[in-house]
Amino acid sequence: MKFGKSDNDQKQPQRFPIEAAEAFEPEEDILRSSQRTGSPPRNLLCHYPEAAPETSLNQFRFQLHRENGVQPGLVGYLEKYVGATHLVWSMCALLADSGIDPDWKDAFEVWRPQWRQFATSFTIQGNTSRTLDVPPSPVRIMWIQAPNSLDTYTLYAVNHKEKRRDQDALEDLWRWMLDVPPEAIINGVYIIKLGLEPWFPVRWGIIATGMISSWFVQDLVLDWPESKVEHVVQAIGTSNIEKGQEFAKEYCPKQSPKVYSSYEEVYRDADVDIVYIGTPHGFHYRDCMEAISAGKNVLCEKSFTLNAKQSREIFNAAREKNVYVAEAMWLRHRPLFIELQRLLHEEKIIGDVFRVFSDFASGVDIASLPSTSRYRNLALGAGSLLDIGVYSLTWARMALGGSVPDQAEMPRILASQSHEEGVEVTTSAVLQYSSTGKQGIVTSTTKALGAPGEVFAVIHGTDGYVEIEGGTPSAPESFTVWTKQEGNPDRAFFLREMCQGKKFEFPTLGRGFVHEAERTALDILEGRKESRIMPWAETLYMMDIMDEIRRQGNTIYPGE
C-alpha cells in the first residue's frame, strides 16, 4: 500500500507524518448529545469538574470509570476541541470489550490526540491491485501509556459516518490496513490498537539556516534508539531558497522538508507543530512574536531575548495564544548537567555548596569582522555575556540554586564589563546571596581562547569540591568529585593529595542537542505550555540577572 506523497512516507506506511485536519464536527455533535443526556457511550461514566470554564478545555483533566465499579479507567487531556472526549470514551470501552485489557489498577494517559488527513490516492496490494482516488475520513491518532512503563499503545480512530463514493472499498481498505473487525465499530468510529510502538510524530519548522540550526537539525534526525519521538523536519525558512535546499540536502537528507523563502510561510504552514528559532539574539523577540501570533509553538535559542522586558512580552503573548514557548538552553538538558544537579542537591555529595567559579573564554577578533557580524553588531545582540557568559551564569545558578525560580532569591550583583569597538568583550560578576552567604563568580570573554579539556568551573562545598571539564562550558564532557579521605583532618581535605576523586564521564550524543529536542517534543505531545527543564520563570530569572550585569557594565542595546 502507498499513501502520502513523499518517498519517505512510502517507505514507512505504518506511520502517518502527514497533513493535519480540523476536528471532525460529527464527533463534537456526539459529545454535545452525550452531555445533554448524561449518557457516555458504552457504559462509561465521565466525571466533570463543576462548572469547568469552556476557555480552559485544553487544561481540562477528566477521569473515566467503568460503570460497574470504581476502578480507575483512563486519564486524558482535552486539547483544542471537545471531540476528544467521545473518542477516549470509545477507546476505553473497546480496550475493555475486545480483550485488550489495560491495567485497571493504574490510570493510562492519553498523549495529545490529534487529527491527521491521509493523501488522496491509495493503492491496495492484495489479491487484486486497485487505487482509490477518494479521500478517506480523517484519522484520529491517540497514544496511551501506562504509568512507569515505556510500553505505548498507538490507536487510530476512523470515522465512517459520512456517505462517500466507493464506501465499500474504503471500508475494505481500513479493515485490510488496520485489521479491524466489523464489530469494532462504536458509534460509527473505528478504534484500533496497533500494538506497542514507542513512536510519536512531532513536525518541526526550522527558522534560519546558520550553524546553530544545522547542529540542531542534525540531532533531530539522529537515529537514537531511546527516542520516543519521531522528529520530522517539516519546513525550513530562509531568505535564500537555494541555500535552504542545500541545508536540507546536507543535514536531513532522508527527509523532504518544504523550503520557504520567508519565515512567515513556515509560521503559516498547518503541518508544522513547533518552530525552532536559530536566528541571532537581536531577532528573537521579532521571530517569537510572529510565530506566536500565527499560533505556533516555539523553541527559541539562547539567549532568549536581549532583555527581560522582551522575554516577559513573549510569555504574555504565548499565554494569550495558549501556545508552548521555551528557551533552548541545551546545556540544561544534558545528562551530565542533570546528574550533577541531582548529586549536589539531593545526595549532597560535597555537602552544602557555598562557592562557585565558572568561566567561558572564546577568542574572536572583533576588529577584523564586518559590521554585519553577530559578534560585532549591537542590533544583533553582540557581546560575550549573551553569547557565552550565559553558560557561566548557568553553572553558577545550578550549583548555588535549588529553589524553584519564582521563589528563588535574587542575588546582590557586583559586575564589571569592558568594551572594544563599542562591543562588550569581557564580563566579570560576583553574585552574593545574602540569606545563605553563598557566592558565585562568573566570567566570560571573547578575547581569549580556553584550552580544550580544561577545568572551566569549580564548585566548592563543605565536604569537597567538583571540577567540571570539557571542550567548552556549553559542551561539558566530565566532572570529578573530590571528597576528603576518611581519617584525614577536616582542615586538610582541600589539599589534592589528601582527597579522593571520582570522575563521571558523559559522552556527547550527536552534536549535543538530542536531549533538548526530545524533551521539548514530549512537552508538546503532553500538551504542556512551558518546558519542564527551562520554565518561563527560570528564563526571566536569568534575564533579570543579565540585565543588572549589563546595567552596571554600561552595555546598552539599540531600543533600550
Query: Same domain for 323 and 379?
Result: no
Any idea of the CA torsion for 12, 17, 21, 23, to the nearest 10 degrees?
100
Q: 525 lies in a domain?
A: no
The residue-averaged pLDDT of 216-230 equals 89
3-state secondary structure of 136: coil
pTM confidence score = 0.69
pLDDT of 454 = 85
483 is in which domain, residue-wise?
332-508
Cβ atoms 77, 61 nearer than 8 A? yes
**How far apart (Å, rounded) are the C-alpha atoms in residues 292 and 324?**
9
pLDDT tens, position by position, 532-548:
999 999 999 999 999 99
Report angle CA 252, 256, 258 to the nearest 5 degrees: 110
Q: 124 lies in a domain?
A: yes
Number of Cβ within a 10 Å radius of residue 39? 11
Query: Same domain for 110 and 184?
Result: yes
At residue 200 the predicted structure's pLDDT band, cuts being 50, 70 and 90, is: low
Query: Taking the mean position of all CA atoms in its chain, how far away is CA 76?
Result: 20
Which domain CATH number covers 502?
3.30.360.10
Query: Same domain for 239 and 370?
Result: no
Pick from 282, 284, 220, 280: which is nearest to 247 by CA? 220
Count of the separate structural domains present in the chain: 3
pLDDT tens, position by position, 455-505:
999 999 999 999 999 989 999 999 999 987 655 555 445 556 666 789 999
The residue-averaged pLDDT of 272-277 equals 96
Q: 236 lies in a domain?
A: yes
More confident residue, 367 or 81: 367
Cell numbers linked to 419: 568594551
Q: Within 13 A of 522's CA, how many CA atoms are on the CB side?
A: 12
Mean pLDDT is lowest, of 51-65, 96-110, 210-224, 371-385, for 51-65
Report angle CA 355, 358, 363 to the nearest 5 degrees: 165
Query: Same domain for 25 and 163?
Result: yes
Query: Same domain for 158 and 274?
Result: no
Preceding omega of 303 cis (within 30 degrees of 0):
yes
**How far apart (Å, rounded) are the C-alpha atoms in residues 548 and 544?**
6
Query: Same domain for 105 and 33?
Result: yes
Mean pLDDT, the chain, as a whole number?
72
In sequence order, the β-bridge partners of residue 207 are: 237, 277
Report angle CA 160, 164, 169 to the nearest 5 degrees: 80
Residue 348: left if φ>0, alpha if ψ -120 to 50, beta else—which one?
left
Max mean pLDDT range (67-71, 161-165, 198-202, 340-344) = 340-344
Report angle CA 296, 156, 255 to the nearest 5 degrees: 50
pLDDT of 297 = 96
3-state secondary structure of 18: coil
Q: 515 lies in a domain?
A: no
Among 196, 228, 246, the domain boundary falls at: 196
pLDDT tens, position by position, 547-557:
999 999 999 99
**How far apart (Å, rounded) are the C-alpha atoms in residues 45 and 40?**
6
Q: Which residues contact 24 (CB under 8 A, 6 or more apart)?
A: 83, 115, 137, 138, 140, 159
Query: Same domain for 128 and 161?
Result: yes
Report angle CA 367, 365, 386 to the nearest 5 degrees: 100
Query: Same domain for 103 and 42?
Result: yes
More confident residue, 49 or 209: 209
Query: Same domain for 347 and 489?
Result: yes
| pLDDT at residue 523 greater than cutoff 80 | yes
Q: 31 lies in a domain?
A: yes
Number of Cβ within a 10 Å radius of residue 370? 8
The residue-averaged pLDDT of 287-294 equals 98
- Strand 189-196 to strand 185-186: parallel, antiparallel, or no bridges (unpaired)? antiparallel
Q: Which residues contact 322 (CB under 8 A, 6 or more apart)?
A: 58, 529
Among 137, 161, 196, the domain boundary falls at: 196
More confident residue, 331 or 151: 331
Cell numbers linked to 382: 553582540
Mean pLDDT is lowest, of 321-335, 351-365, 372-386, 493-507, for 493-507
Mean pLDDT is lowest, of 57-61, 449-453, 508-512, for 57-61
**How far apart (Å, rounded) are the C-alpha atoms in residues 233 and 202?**
9
Query: Same domain for 313 and 209?
Result: yes
Cβ atoms 473, 384 nearer than 8 A? no
| pLDDT at residue 182 greater than cutoff 50 | no
Q: 531 lies in a domain?
A: no
